[in-house]
């Protein structure tokens, strides 16, 4: 009898957090295998890659749990989720961003009993629970194996050292790409959609509003030529993603500009060069290679969250203390649950941030005391190992632990590949090809016959 579930991790090549989760499952002595997502991430978060090859690897490994982050790697037709459900594979999806940014993906498997949604920000829990049955709070974490106090060389100290720094991208290029994708899909021929989003952003900031759907509806007063149906969840969530990206840029840039007189040093993509003077911009920073050194070499690290982080925290709140660095972070309600008051320093507005910087800049011993407490808390409570254990605790009770799962025969894997193809074709409206794929699936293996019958009954019920 096995003690730990088998985990299959979808790992995106551009996401170190995926790797951290994989490593944590290994440390927890789970049987783990990964599949690299190398396809392009499209506008709505959809990842395009070889699903046939992925299914072959998945079913050959025959896991208890498929682990994904932000549903990246799952298809927009619910095919992977359906195959997993029919093969008694649970799907653990950890959202570390607004879950509704990828709604076009997971709306295809709403209500599936094998889906477990782990959400990093409590603000979104009720909204996700309206669509999914199993929704659990799970904040972000630190990887102590990669983020720890480092002894820097003299060259590294010279390059990375500063009294005050912020590490993060502005997000302008990301914002422009989102707008272009939205224009292409919904606003062809409308030239001023950029101004539309800018006006919406100004309304949200000037009036301190977060009711984005109402703001969008009111925009017809300013831009009557822009006609969009915001009752459509797909359109609304796409627009929401853009507006929140715009607000993040505005807020982040405003705070940084207020800190320029204090000598703030900024690390991030070169889009910063156009917004701040050269003496304040230090250049790009590679997450795994450079950022731990910056956190170590900076007296005071500043945290400025993205707008969509309403109650929850971001990666810096764990990474900086793990490195032994001192952090002043913007206040979020969940800080009160994650840290004690003497373990963290926060601010609620720019004036308070400036006050905190002046208070702590000449108190190295006090900063050191806060760091020691914060790092102890992170190592005890906020590691990826702790988070992955939470996932196992939530799902293990629903897993059949009577024996080791084994790989199905080759023909059965081919059957499920054709079953998946049939689902995709069905959702695209190609009923003839779908029926052919379902028949081919049954011809390979009778084990899929029940699942195919279920699909055909559903089709008849919808006609």
Q: The domain that contains 42 carries what CATH number?
A: 3.40.50.2300
Closest of 241, 196, 270 to residue 45, by C-alpha: 241
Q: Does residue 444 share a domain with residue 324?
A: no
**55 neighbors 413 (Cβ within 8 angstroms):** yes
> What tens digit of pLDDT does each residue of 150-199 get?
999 999 999 999 999 999 999 999 999 999 999 998 887 777 898 999 99
**242 neighbors 197 (Cβ within 8 angstroms):** yes
Q: Does residue 332 share a domain with residue 297?
A: yes
Q: Does residue 378 share a domain with residue 448?
A: no
CA quadruple 62, 68, 72, 77: dihedral, nearest 10: 50
- Residue with the larger pLDDT of the pair 446 and 55: 55
> What tens digit of pLDDT does each residue of 302-340 get?
999 999 999 999 999 999 999 999 999 999 999 999 999
Q: Which residue range(s) make up the domain with 441?
A: 408-463
Enter the tokens of residue 290: 């450079």
Closest of 134, 220, 149, 146 to residue 398, by C-alpha: 134
- CA gap 414, 223 in Å, rounded: 53
Residue carrying the six token digits 């008849």: 460
- Give the percent of the chain with pLDDT over 70: 94
Look at residue 136 and tell me if it is in a domain. Answer: yes
* Confidence at residue 163, expressed as pLDDT on a 0 to 100 scale: 98
Count: domains in the chain: 3
Q: Does residue 415 share a domain with residue 312?
A: no
Whether the pTM exceeds 0.95: the reply is: no
pLDDT at 42 over 50: no
- CA gap 421, 418 in Å, rounded: 5
Q: How far from the centroid of its chain's Cα atoms is residue 194's Cα?
A: 25
Q: Does residue 129 share a domain with residue 29?
A: yes
What's the farthest any 2 CA atoms get from each other in the chain? Answer: 75
Which bin fits 111, alpha (ψ -120 to 50), beta or left (φ > 0)? left
Q: Does residue 395 share a domain with residue 340?
A: no
**291 neighbors 315 (Cβ within 8 angstroms):** no
pLDDT at 461 over 90: no
Strand positions, DSSP E, 256-320: 265-267, 281-283, 298-302
**105 neighbors 44 (Cβ within 8 angstroms):** yes
Enter the tokens of residue 450: 């029940």
CA quadruple 248, 251, 256, 258: dihedral, nearest 10: 180
Q: Show Cβ contacts of residue 306 under 8 Å, excluding neighbours closer than 6 positions.
A: 171, 244, 245, 248, 314
Q: Does residue 100 share a domain with residue 118?
A: yes
> What tens digit of pLDDT does each residue of 114-137 get?
999 999 999 999 999 999 999 999
Q: Does residue 150 share a domain with residue 115?
A: no
Q: Does residue 154 share a domain with residue 128?
A: no
Which bin fits 243, alpha (ψ -120 to 50), beta or left (φ > 0)? alpha
Q: Among the residues of 66-192, which ranges form H helices? A: 79-86, 103-106, 125-129, 154-160, 172-186
CB atoms under 10 Å from CB of 412, counted, come to: 18
**148 neighbors 322 (Cβ within 8 angstroms):** yes
């Amino acid at each position: 009898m096995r003690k730990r579930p088998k985990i299959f991790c979808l790992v995106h090549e551009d996401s170190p957090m995926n790797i951290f989760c994989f490593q944590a499952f290994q440390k927890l002595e789970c049987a783990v295998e990964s599949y690299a997502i190398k396809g392009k991430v499209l506008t709505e978060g959809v990842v395009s890659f070889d699903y046939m090859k992925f299914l072959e690897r998945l079913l050959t490994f025959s896991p208890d749990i498929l682990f994904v982050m932000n549903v990246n790697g799952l298809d927009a037709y619910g095919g992977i989720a359906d195959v997993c459900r029919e093969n008694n594979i649970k799907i653990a999806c950890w959202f570390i961003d607004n879950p509704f940014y990828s709604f076009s993906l997971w709306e295809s498997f709403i209500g599936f009993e094998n889906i477990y949604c782990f959400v990093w920000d409590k603000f979104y829990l009720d909204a996700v629970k309206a669509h999914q049955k199993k929704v659990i709070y799970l904040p972000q974490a630190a990887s102590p194996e990669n983020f720890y106090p480092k002894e820097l060389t003299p060259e590294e100290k010279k390059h990375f050292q500063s009294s005050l720094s912020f590490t993060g991208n502005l997000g302008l290029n990301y914002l422009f790409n989102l707008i272009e994708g939205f224009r292409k899909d919904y606003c062809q021929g409308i030239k001023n959609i950029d101004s539309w989003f800018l006006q919406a952003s100004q309304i949200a900031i000037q009036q301190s509003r977060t009711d984005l759907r109402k703001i969008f509806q009111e925009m017809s007063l300013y831009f009557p030529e822009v006609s969009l149906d915001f009752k459509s969840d797909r359109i609304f969530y796409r627009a929401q993603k853009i507006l929140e990206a715009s607000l993040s840029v505005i807020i982040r840039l405003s705070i940084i500009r207020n800190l320029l007189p204090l000598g703030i040093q900024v690390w991030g993509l070169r889009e910063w060069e156009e917004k701040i003077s050269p003496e304040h911009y230090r250049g790009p920073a590679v997450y795994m290679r450079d950022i731990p050194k910056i956190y170590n070499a900076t007296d005071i690290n500043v945290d400025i969250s993205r707008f969509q982080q309403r109650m929850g925290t971001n990666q810096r709140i764990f990474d900086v203390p793990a490195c032994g660095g001192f952090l002043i972070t913007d206040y979020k309600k969940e800080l009160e649950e994650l840290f004690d008051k003497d373990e963290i320093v926060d601010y609620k507005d720019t004036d308070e941030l400036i006050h905190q910087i002046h208070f702590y800049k000449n108190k190295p011993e006090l900063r050191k005391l806060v760091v020691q407490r914060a790092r102890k808390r992170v190592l005890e409570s906020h590691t990826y190992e702790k988070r992955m254990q939470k996932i196992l605790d939530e799902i293990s009770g629903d897993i059949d632990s009577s024996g080791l799962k084994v790989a199905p025969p080759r023909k059965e894997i081919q059957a499920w590949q054709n079953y998946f193809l049939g689902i995709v074709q069905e959702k695209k409206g190609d009923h003839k090809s779908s029926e052919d794929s379902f028949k081919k699936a049954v011809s390979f293996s009778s084990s899929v016959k029940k699942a195919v019958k279920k699909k055909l009954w559903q089709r008849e019920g919808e006609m």
